[in-house]
Amino acid sequence: MCQIFAGQDPETYEKELRSLRLNGQSTSIRLEAAFWELIDAIAAEEGVTTPQFISKLHSEVLVLHGEARNFTSLLRCACLRYLRRDAGVLGDLSTAAA
């Protein structure tokens, strides 16, 4: 069973730092390559660039919660929610969606 997880290409979990403008401010976000790949795909599905998608998400979080604590974790969880939604297994997480 663990071969599915342990046997993955180490490049998928290498950290990748990307610099971008987040709502007008320069910043850098460090995520594993697998998450960047998925975020790029989500952005493309939404018809925007990855920086545009991330800025929009950041803005929406600010409106909803007043701050974006631990934004990189939010991005990872957004990827998980996206995959779970597509698999039809949102379960209790769907009640937290807005």
Residue 2 lies in a domain: no
Alpha-carbon distance values, 12 to 35, 67, 70 (Å): 8, 30, 22
The structural domain count of the chain equals: 1
Q: pLDDT per position in the chain (98 positions), as tens?
A: 688 889 999 999 999 999 999 878 899 999 999 999 999 999 999 999 999 999 999 999 999 999 999 999 999 999 999 999 888 876 655 444 44
User: Are 41 and 83 in contact, with CB atoms under 8 Å apart?
Assistant: no
- Predicted TM-score (pTM) of the model is 0.82
pLDDT at 88: 81
Residue 4 lies in a domain: no
Q: What range defines the domain where residue 67 resides?
A: 10-96
